[in-house]
A = this chain, B = another copy of it.
Amino acid sequence: MSLTTKARYAALRETILDVMERQIGTSGLSGLGMRSIAKTVGCSPGMIYKIGVDQDGLILMVNARTLDAIGARLRNAVTAADRPQVAMRNMALAYVDYAQEQTPRWDALFSHRMADERPVPTWYARKRDAMFQDLAAVVARAVEDASIQQRGEFSRMLFSAVHGVVTLGLQQKIGRVSPAKLRQQVRDLVDVMAAGLSHLSRPEATAPQSS
Interface residues, chain A, with chain B CB atoms under 8 Å away: 82-83, 85-86, 89-90, 110, 113, 119, 125, 128-129, 132, 153, 156-157, 159-165, 167-169, 171-176, 185, 188-189, 191-197, 199-200, 205, 208-209, 211
Q: Are A129 and B196 touching (Cβ within 8 A)?
A: no
CB within 8 Å for A211 and B86 given contacts A125-B175, A164-B163, A193-B192: yes
In the bound complex, residues from chain B placing their C-beta under 8 Å from that of A211 are 82, 86, 89-90
Q: Are A110 and B171 touching (Cβ within 8 A)?
A: yes
In the bound complex, residues from chain B placing their C-beta under 8 Å from that of A209 are 83, 85-86
Q: Are B174 and A161 touching (Cβ within 8 A)?
A: no
Q: Which among B157, B160, B174, B208 is the interface contact of A128 at CB below 8 angstroms?
A: B174
**How many monomers of this protein are in the complex?**
2
Rounded to whole angstroms, the CA-CA distance of A197 and B83 in the bound complex is 20
Chain A interface mostly helix, strand, loop or mixed?
Answer: helix
CB within 8 Å for A200 and B191 given contacts A160-B165, A164-B162, A209-B86: yes
Q: Which residue of chain B lies nearest to A191 when distances are taken between CB atoms in the complex?
A: B208
Q: Which among B119, B125, B196 is the interface contact of A193 at CB below 8 angstroms?
A: B196
- Within the complex, what minimum Cβ distance (angstroms) separates A45 from chain B? 24
Q: Which among B164, B172, B208 is the interface contact of A195 at CB below 8 angstroms?
A: B208
Rounded to whole angstroms, the CA-CA distance of A152 and B95 in the bound complex is 24
Q: Are B174 and A156 touching (Cβ within 8 A)?
A: yes
Rounded to whole angstroms, the CA-CA distance of A162 and B160 in the bound complex is 8
Q: Which residue of chain B lies nearest to A206 when distances are taken between CB atoms in the complex?
A: B195
Leading 7 A-B pairs by shortest Cβ distance? A164-B164, A196-B196, A161-B161, A192-B196, A195-B196, A191-B208, A160-B165
Q: Which among B89, B128, B132, B161 is the interface contact of A189 at CB below 8 angstroms?
A: B161
